[in-house]
Amino acid sequence: MSPLFNTDNVIDALRKVLPTERKISLHEPHFNGNEWTYVKECLDTGWVSSVGKYVDEFEFKLAEFTGAQKVVAVVNGTAALHIALKLLGVEQNDEVLLPALTFIATANAVQYCNAIPHFIDSEEKTLGIDPRKLSDYLNEVSLIKDGVCINKITGNRIKAVIAMHTFGHPVDLDPLIDVCQRYKLELIEDAAESLGSFYKKRHTGTFGKIATISFNGNKVITTGGGGAILTNDINLGKMAKHLTTTAKVAHKWEFFHDQIGYNYRLPNINAALGCAQLEQLPSFIEKKRKLALMYRAEFSGMDGISFFTEPEFARSNYWLNALVLDSENAIYRDELLEKTNNLGIMTRPAWTTMHKLPMFQNCPRMDLSTAESLESRLINIPSSSFLGD
């Protein structure tokens, strides 16, 4: 252990940034804008469900904000991932590469397609997929046959990569896109956590063939529950709309569905909430970035632990702030979690890496030492936008 490291110093630093008179949760939603007005309008007019103007408006405004050509609002981020994989033609026994260090939804969506999650290591600098390690690994385990990437060991087709922008911090997209091109892999961005985060001045979720966002209650903005599919391919966007609205062929009265579709459309009442939240997004991000600066200042000189800072190529939304203990101090993680939660400062460890969960433990994977190391020493700390006020 580093001789100068002490969990009490960490607590003191947190208390300097955070209000002390109340319990502080990890991430709270804020409804200080037009939420009441827009939701009331849905109730007053009866347009609460699968039809209404707020869905179109929410999709339009999201497209405007992110720069994506087409946005389709859906019931949640997991459903968005499911449809993204379907649209890219991921089928039974296809392998899909994704980070071991992610939220369960990323891996579950692959399994919903009867495909096989294949776990990739993270890089310390971004907390997301390490493009260089991925490249070396694919060089070792795969071959390209008739323009298709094949896993030499399992014989399965490797179809796609899902890059997840961890806690809002973009992965290093340029080298990742290069790997995807060399190995004929489709790129999906799980941008669930990165609404308002930019990679080299371009919004995350506009680099891959398809991207997904989540508007769950703990995300940067919320619709209660909700999600979106983003793409720059207009045809793919139209297919996304079709598949998520029961694959019904538009007609004045006839019910004709041309394939198995899904009832994944975002209800109008949730979209109304989303429109109001989206108006406040720039101010949420400004406050979140201020909060991150305050944390950064408190932890900058501290021994044995560091505040995770956006990579130089990124402008992050700092959705969830993270402290990372030096390796030799990983043994203090649980003590820190215990002390902070007892004091009413809600903190959480990183997710359990996917390959350690019972249903995914036999899935193919590369060496995951960085993901495992990060998992053992990362702590998320309170990140609500109001804390940056």
Residue 228 vs 291, nearer CB to ligand PLP: 228
Q: Which residues pair with 308 in a beta bridge?
A: none
Window of 36-44, 102-110, 195-203, 324-332 that interacts with ligand PLP by CB under 6 A: 102-110
Which residue bears the tokens 């490797």? Answer: 158
Contact (CB, 8 A) for 272 and 31: no
Does residue 268 touch ligand PLP according to CB under 6 A?
Answer: no
- Residue 106 in the binding site for ligand PLP (CB under 6 A): yes
- Does residue number 189 form part of the binding site for ligand PLP (CB under 6 A)? no
**142 contributes a contact to ligand PLP by CB under 6 A:** no
In the list 126, 197, 214, 231, the residue contacting ligand PLP (rule: CB under 6 A) is: 214
Tokens of 277: 């939240």
| Smallest distance, ligand PLP to C-beta of residue 277, A | 14
Question: Could you tell me the sign of the dihedral formed by the alpha carbons of 212, 213, 214, 215, in that order?
Answer: negative
368 near ligand PLP, judged by CB under 6 A: no
Q: Could you say whether residue 270 binds ligand PLP (CB under 6 A)?
A: no
Verify binding: residue 190, ligand PLP, rule CB under 6 A: yes
Which residues ranging from 302 to 321 are in contact with ligand PLP (CB under 6 A)? none
The answer to whether 38 contacts ligand PLP (rule: CB under 6 A) is no
Decide whether 225 or 311 has the Cβ nearer to ligand PLP: 225
Q: How many CA atoms lie within 13 A of 211 on its CB side?
A: 30
Using CB under 6 A, which of 38, 54, 58, 103 touches ligand PLP? 103
Q: By C-beta, is 76 or 317 nearer to ligand PLP? A: 76
Is position 204 an interface residue for ligand PLP (rule: CB under 6 A)? no
Residues 152-171 that bind ligand PLP (CB under 6 A): 164
Alpha-carbon gap, residue 127 to 169, rounded angstroms: 8
| Residue facing ligand PLP at closest CB distance | 77
Is residue 375 a contact residue for ligand PLP (CB under 6 A)? no
Q: Which stretch binds ligand PLP (CB under 6 A): 98-106, 120-128, 130-138, 355-363?
A: 98-106
Nearer to ligand PLP, 106 or 270 (CB): 106
Residue 76 CA: distances (Å) to CA of 117, 270, 278, 384: 20, 11, 16, 21
Q: Minimum Å distance from CB 193 to ligand PLP?
A: 5
- Of positions 35, 57, 94, 193, contacts ligand PLP by CB under 6 A: 193
Q: Which stretch binds ligand PLP (CB under 6 A): 37-45, 93-101, 126-134, 187-195?
A: 187-195
Contact 198, 155 (CB under 8 A): no
User: Taking CB under 6 A as the rule, does residue 194 contact ligand PLP?
Assistant: no
Instruction: In angstroms, give the least distance from the CB of 108 to ligand PLP.
Output: 9
Comparing CB distances to ligand PLP, the nearer of 27 and 365 is 27
| 66-85: contacts with ligand PLP (CB under 6 A) | 76-78
Q: Which of 170, 208, 227, 388 binds ligand PLP (CB under 6 A)?
A: 227
Whether residue 185 contacts residue 158, with contact meaning beta carbons closer than 8 Å, is answered with yes
- Residue 185 and residue 158: Cα distance in Å, rounded? 7
Does 277 contact ligand PLP by CB under 6 A? no
Q: Which chain residues interact with ligand PLP by CB under 6 A?
A: 76-78, 102-103, 105-106, 164, 190, 192-193, 214, 216, 227
